[in-house]
Amino acid sequence: MYERIPFLPVTPAPNAPDYVVERDHVHADSYRFRFTVVGRGLFPFDMLRYEGCFPADTLSALRMDKGETRDERKASREVVLEVSTANSRYLPCFDRWRSFGWVVKSDA
C-alpha cells in the first residue's frame, strides 16, 4: 500500500493524489516509489535510465509518445513513473527533469 511521504511538498489536483512522491515498503530493504512528470513534446527517455524508473501503467507508457497530430504534440501530458530502490528517502531529480522541459508534478 502506497503512503504519502510527509516531508515532500503537496500539489492538490482533481482526481489525483495530493502528494508528489508516494512510497510502498515492499520488503525489509526494498521500497517502491511513484511520481508523476508533466510535459509536452518529446519525452526524455534518457531519464528512465538516469532515475532507474519505468512507466507505472500502460496508459503512462502510451503517454510517452508525442502523438500523431500537431494538437497532440502540443498537448501537455502526465506520465506516472515507478522506481524500486533500497533508499527509503528517494526523490526524483527535479532539476534534471526541468532541464528536459518536463517537471515533477509539484513544480508543474
Q: Which three cell numbers mark 21?
A: 512522491
Alpha-helical segments (H) within 1-108: 46-51, 58-63, 70-74, 94-99
pTM of the predicted model as reported, rounded to 2 decimal places: 0.76
Confidence of residue 1 (pLDDT cuts 50, 70, 90): low
Q: By the 8 A CB rule, do 5 and 22 touch?
A: yes
Q: What percentage of the chain exceeds 90 in pLDDT?
A: 38
For 77-106, what is the mean pLDDT?
89
Q: What is the pLDDT of residues 53-71, one digit of tens each?
A: 999 999 999 999 877 777 8
Burial zone of 83 (CB within 10 Å; 0-12 exposed, 13-18 middle, 19+ buried): buried
Q: Is the pLDDT of residue 8 over 70?
A: no
For 67-91, what is the mean pLDDT?
85
7 or 49, higher pLDDT: 49
Q: Is the pLDDT of residue 15 over 70?
A: no
